[in-house]
Amino acid sequence: MTNYKQIYINGQWVTPSSSETIEVWDSTDESVMATIPSCGAADVELAAKAARAAFDSWAALTPKARAEYISKIGDGLAAKMDEISSAISRETGMSKFLSQMIQVGLPINSFKQAAAIAENFTYSKEVGSSLVVREPIGVVGCITPWNYPLHQIAAKVAFAMAAGCTVVLKPSEVAPIDAFMLAEVIHEVGLSAGVFNMITGTGPVVGEAMSASSNIDMMSFTGSTRAGRRVTQVSAESVKKVALELGGKSANIICADLDTETFAKAVSSGVGKAFLNSGQTCSALTRMLVPKARLEEAEAILTSTGNALVVGDPFEKTTHLGPLASAAQRDRVNGFIQKGIDEGAKLLVGGVGVPEGVSKGYYVKPTIFSNVTTSMTIAQEEIFGPVLSVIPYNDEEDAVRIANDTVYGLAGGVWSADKDKAIAIARRMRTGQVEVNGGAFNPNAPFGGYKQSGVGREYGDHGFEEFLEIKAMQL
């Protein structure tokens, strides 16, 4: 067990104002794997003032100079890939193989991509008699979640710093170890003091103080819609810019025109799209929409695919799904599964309880429901576990209506034999991303949501621009 006793402020490891600590639990065996400081408002203000003091000199650096630092951080993460991915697998439950590729590989890409954009971005252009320039917004407060901890840190920190901003980071207290490893890499790189600051603690204390701080110009938050509302409310008092990446209840429309082989591929791959990271994915395609006439065909495929999933130790190569990240999440997901049963959904695979073959860890059974109606709780609320709801539809109009019938709009999918038709359906879905016929995730494309899934975008040029202000100089 590792006891982290310090936080990172102004280029140094410092002892926080409070001696209180938070336990970090190993999702695989329910043991305490680390303790971290539980910081208070005084620590937030110390970090925010350090970031404020460092801003002018960091913003004044050339984009190329900033990019060199950001790229070196990516290299430092790559050198620690095995160590970091192992920690994240224990924190979140994701299989070690996927942790290397997704939980560390994608953050490395984010630092490299942010560096490249910083160097090549067009920061000014003439508009009539005006010179319109883009400038860093200032000090950015970053609050990140536990499901893709380093990935979401990189989405904010890499792009904000590359844009010329300084940052104060609060990682999730459920999965903070990777953030300490990132801070170590940043320290080794020799980043200017105050550009990156990291404090740990709870949302109601640290997150609240960050949102309220007059020394923070922008809040970038990823997490639940409920918590995102609170960040917005508190930030409004000082009229901060707020970027939010929140929940999702994404629909995967399987069209009736698919041949038997492609239909089977679409349905079976849809299980994987729902269950990635044991379903602890905000953009997971958790609602599968299938034509009523082919529902029985889909159910047979889903039952076979679901029953073949191997649940177990994320460090075993044969494992498909590891545990959930916490006891609270395990209990919450089981509550939703029971709700699905109580409300009359047809249980195809899984159910309430512990999977066979495991005795410790926050495991749940991968669960697939069919004959789900849009009024059911499992069709509307984000579960954040391996629970797939299969909803039958009448025709294309009905499918689009069902897909849009939630408060969320983060991601989605469409499968059709006619690619143009699939794209036309995708255009009608009120959501920030749609994968067409299994199109692969693009880590450099803009990511974010419509409706209560958020405000703003992350990654690529669009994510970079979130951290820039616009100034017009009349010449």
pLDDT digits (tens, 9 = 90+) for 412-429: 999 999 999 999 999 999
Residue pair 165/66 in contact by the 8 Å Cβ criterion: no
- Mean pLDDT score, 157-172: 98
By C-alpha distance, which of 157, 148, 164 is closest to 220? 157
Q: What pLDDT does residue 228 have? A: 96
Q: What pLDDT does residue 117 have? A: 98
- Mean pLDDT score, 59-72: 98
Residue 224 banded pLDDT, cuts 50, 70, 90 = very high
By C-alpha distance, which of 182, 209, 147, 180 is closest to 37? 180
- Mean pLDDT score, 78-85: 97
> For the packed helices 149-162 and 105-120, what is the interaxial angle rounded to 10 degrees?
10
Mean pLDDT of the chain: 97
Residue 333 banded pLDDT, cuts 50, 70, 90 = very high
Which residues are CB-contacts of 214 (< 8 A; sequence separation ≥ 6)? 238
The CATH class of the 251-442 domain is alpha beta
- Strand partners for 25: 32
DSSP 458: B
Residue pair 67/116 in contact by the 8 Å Cβ criterion: yes
Whether the predicted pLDDT of 357 surpasses 90:
no
Q: Domain 2-246+452-474, CATH 3.90.1720.10 — does that match?
A: no
Residue pair 444/459 in contact by the 8 Å Cβ criterion: yes
Looking only at the bridges linking them, the beta strands covering 130-136 and 468-474 are: antiparallel
Residue 45 banded pLDDT, cuts 50, 70, 90 = very high
Q: What pLDDT does residue 267 have? A: 98
Q: So which residues are the catalytic ones?
A: 245, 282
Domain ranges, ordered by start, for the chain: 2-246+452-474, 251-442
DSSP 262: H
Q: What pLDDT does residue 359 have? A: 84
Mind listing the pLDDT tens digit for each residue in 104-156?
A: 999 999 999 999 999 999 999 999 999 999 999 999 999 999 999 999 999 99
- Mean pLDDT score, 313-321: 94
17 by Cβ neighbours in 10 Å (0-12 / 13-18 / 19+) ranks as middle
Q: Sign of dihedral through CA atoms 299, 300, 301, 305? A: positive
* pTM, rounded to two decimals: 0.96
DSSP string, 270-316: HHHHHHGGGG--TT---EEEEEGGGHHHHHHHHHHHHHTPPBS-TTS
Residue 372 banded pLDDT, cuts 50, 70, 90 = very high
